[in-house]
Amino acid sequence: MRFVWFWTFWHWTTEGFRSGALLRSPLQGVASHWDEWYQHEASESERQEIDAAGRSVFEQRRFICWLARRWAREARWRDEVLPGRYVLAQLSRVSPFDKWPVFEKYRTTYASPGIAAIVLDQESAGEPGDVRRVEAVALTQDEDAAAGAVVSDGFHTDSGELNTACRAAMSLLNGKGLVVFIALWIVAGVRPYPRFLRVVLIAGWIAVVALIVRLLFGSDPGPQLMINVAVLFALWSLLLLTSVAVVAALAFNAWRTGRELRRRMEARQIHLRMSDGLSVQGGSAGLAFCLNALLATYRSHPHVTRPTWLWERFFRRLRDASQTWAATGIVDADGGVDHVVLDPKIRACLRNANVTDVLTPWQDEARQSAIERVAATTRLVEPTRQTGGMVLGFASVKKKLRSHRCRHAAQSIMAVGDFTSRSQLMANVLALAVTVVMALALPDIRNVLTPPAPPRVVLPGSPSPYYLWVSLDTKRPDAFRVELESGFWSNRRSDVVDYGGADASVRAEMRLSRHGRQTTIDERDGTVWIERRNKFLNREFQAGERIASYPFAHITGLHHD
């Protein structure tokens, strides 16, 4: 077995932690523990073996490979695979590894790049170096009560700012922030439909609109009305059900996975690293810290998000964005993004060759047009590379920097995850408008598709001899119409209405006036017909089936009864 001495150290540190001699866990305190063990606990032969491993670069490399690939998997801490790169970064600072050349690249990085923070040097007008690389790892939390939920590494800042960023990240995973994100996504977020299904759905909504227009403005469909209305209702229901089911399933999944990620984040300590030894004043790096805390949590448990399309898409894109995105903005615990000094930061991003996108608070200075104005007046600096003593110079090129303004950190999730879809927004507006129309038309659709039973004529009749009241025992007055045919009285047709007041009833009221060309002198002559009414919103179709008839004399006699 190779590198037994490292196993001996690991045994010493785990036992030391279990026995209460060490405050920090073997993972959190690995550098300090190694220093103690190597300087004061290792035997002479172990020290010789370590020195032997450090004598050649080849052996040093072997040790690093062994530690990252084998030891990290086998050692485990609290049933979790150890973050090999973090351990290497920690060990790279202590003896004897601080003198091993192969540890050089681990001294400044955890190899977990995140969204860059824009932190200005004092009196900087916006230089490329103000865009600071931020790295984040999530480690298993120690029981140590004094250990904060977020730890800064390589820079100093107010722990309150870090904790606020962490709380904002938790809110985005499972809190108000998640609600805002889901709401934004529902309104304008791309859906995970395959291309053909997307086309079918859009075609479906257009067909619904066409049917509505046909019913409102087209020729009277006559006997085809029922088929038209049935097709319209079925299509609209299917589309609405599909949309609601997809949104509900994805949102529920996101909520459930977010809750799991939040639980894991709470059980972990987030280590944020910036290598410049800065003392960060103010909270303008809060948005970058918040996003990097999310990324660190995802990296520690990437399998958790796999079944959730929303989170998986966001985290994959966040991981890719870490090379080219920067962020600035003060976040509060609920994820609200507050204003910062922006002009020099925009200039810093423009001058930094790596940055293509910047997340900012909702400020005028961050409008795309404003950025293009700044870009036009900012001297851009291209990186110069040296090859064999030759300095390569590059002419200034126009740089495209995309700005993503956010009032809430949830909007940064939308931006990084590239969720915003104009076509989806338009489809949603169309679907909403159609649904409002359909909701208003639902009583009419119901009357056409499931007509109510024929009603009977009931009391009260009209108290006045100049009026005819035809009261019906129905709860759906919109479904009927009453028609009077008489040789003595003018023929009339009237809608059935639900009247309130002292003589409350569902009835049709008609004013009785004599016919201009009477065919009889019998004022009791006439028939009252009850017929079905076909309408769609304000469009009346030709009368439906006549379902009952009463002698005029019977109706007028009702009052006296």
Size of the site for another protein (CB under 8 A): 22
Between 99 and 398, name the residue whose CB sits nearer to another protein: 99
To another protein, the closest distance from the beta carbon of 63 in angstroms equals 20
Between 21 and 440, name the residue whose CB sits nearer to another protein: 21
Residue 93 found at the interface with another protein (CB under 8 A): yes
Pairing of strands 357-361, 325-327: parallel
**165 is written with which tokens?**
């960023």
To another protein, the closest distance from the beta carbon of 23 in angstroms equals 4
In angstroms, rounded to a whole number, what is the distance separating the alpha carbons of residues 527 and 487?
10
Backbone angles phi, psi at 41, to 5 degrees: -115, -30
Between 70 and 156, name the residue whose CB sits nearer to another protein: 156
Between 94 and 413, name the residue whose CB sits nearer to another protein: 94
To another protein, the closest distance from the beta carbon of 146 in angstroms equals 6
The contacts found for 422-425 with CB under 8 angstroms, 24 or more apart, are 422/188, 424/188, 424/189, 424/190, 424/191, 425/187, 425/188
To another protein, the closest distance from the beta carbon of 121 in angstroms equals 20
- Packing angle, helices 159-174 and 286-300, rounded to 10: 60
Between 153 and 343, name the residue whose CB sits nearer to another protein: 153
Among 70, 105, 156, 456, binds another protein (CB under 8 A): 156
User: What x/- string results for residues 45 through 84 when contact with another protein is judged by CB under 8 A?
Assistant: ----------------------------------------
Pairing of strands 505-511, 497-499: antiparallel
Between 34 and 236, name the residue whose CB sits nearer to another protein: 34
- Stretches 21-29, 43-51, 232-240, 508-516: which one binds another protein (CB under 8 A)? 21-29
Residue 29 found at the interface with another protein (CB under 8 A): yes
Between 40 and 379, name the residue whose CB sits nearer to another protein: 40
From 483, 488, 482, 495, select the one nearest 522 (Cα to Cα). 488
Among 7, 23, 301, 558, binds another protein (CB under 8 A): 23
Between 157 and 411, name the residue whose CB sits nearer to another protein: 157
To another protein, the closest distance from the beta carbon of 8 in angstroms equals 17
- Stretches 31-39, 469-477, 522-530, 532-540: which one binds another protein (CB under 8 A)? 31-39
- Stretches 32-40, 233-241, 524-532, 537-545: which one binds another protein (CB under 8 A)? 32-40
Residue 276 found at the interface with another protein (CB under 8 A): no
To another protein, the closest distance from the beta carbon of 62 in angstroms equals 25
From 45, 91, 46, 41, select the one nearest 66 (Cα to Cα). 91
Backbone angles phi, psi at 154, to 5 degrees: 90, 0
In angstroms, rounded to a whole number, what is the distance separating the alpha carbons of residues 451 and 293?
59
Between 23 and 179, name the residue whose CB sits nearer to another protein: 23
Between 40 and 517, name the residue whose CB sits nearer to another protein: 40
Residue 26 found at the interface with another protein (CB under 8 A): no
The contacts found for 394-402 with CB under 8 angstroms, 24 or more apart, are 399/350, 399/353, 399/375, 400/356, 401/346, 401/349, 401/350, 401/355, 401/356, 401/357, 401/358, 401/371, 401/375, 402/356, 402/357, 402/358, 402/368
In angstroms, rounded to a whole number, what is the distance separating the alpha carbons of residues 191 and 185?
9
| Lookup result for tokens 């002292």 | 502
Residue 24 found at the interface with another protein (CB under 8 A): yes
**64 is written with which tokens?**
């690093």
Question: What HEC string does 204-240 produce?
Answer: HHHHHHHHHHHHHHCCCCHHHHHHHHHHHHHHHHHHH
To another protein, the closest distance from the beta carbon of 54 in angstroms equals 18
What residues does 484 pair with on adjacent strands? 492, 528
Residue 35 found at the interface with another protein (CB under 8 A): yes
Residue 161 found at the interface with another protein (CB under 8 A): no
Among 40, 385, 398, 517, binds another protein (CB under 8 A): 40
To another protein, the closest distance from the beta carbon of 10 in angstroms equals 16
Query: Which residues, 6 or more positions from 338, have their beta carbon under 8 angstroms from its beta carbon?
Result: 283, 329, 330, 331, 332, 361
Between 146 and 390, name the residue whose CB sits nearer to another protein: 146
From 457, 423, 441, 419, select the one nearest 534 (Cα to Cα). 441
Q: How far apart are the first and last CA of the chain?
A: 110
**11 is written with which tokens?**
């045994």
In angstroms, rounded to a whole number, what is the distance separating the alpha carbons of residues 355 and 349?
6
Among 5, 9, 16, 533, binds another protein (CB under 8 A): 16
Residue 31 found at the interface with another protein (CB under 8 A): yes
> What angle is formed at CA 201 by the lines to CA 199 and CA 204, rounded to 5 degrees?
110
Beta carbons within 10 angstroms of residue 196's beta carbon: 8
Residue 142 found at the interface with another protein (CB under 8 A): no
Among 6, 36, 130, 182, binds another protein (CB under 8 A): 36
Residue 367 found at the interface with another protein (CB under 8 A): no
Torsion sign over Cα 526, 530, 531, 535: positive
Between 23 and 370, name the residue whose CB sits nearer to another protein: 23
To another protein, the closest distance from the beta carbon of 142 in angstroms equals 11
Query: Do 544 and 530 touch, CB atoms closer than 8 A?
Result: no
Residue 21 found at the interface with another protein (CB under 8 A): yes
Distances (CA, A) of 462 to 295, 490, 505: 76, 17, 11
To another protein, the closest distance from the beta carbon of 137 in angstroms equals 16
To another protein, the closest distance from the beta carbon of 41 in angstroms equals 9
Between 32 and 356, name the residue whose CB sits nearer to another protein: 32
* Binding site residues, another protein, CB under 8 A: 16, 19-24, 29, 31-33, 35-36, 39-40, 93-94, 143-144, 146, 156, 159
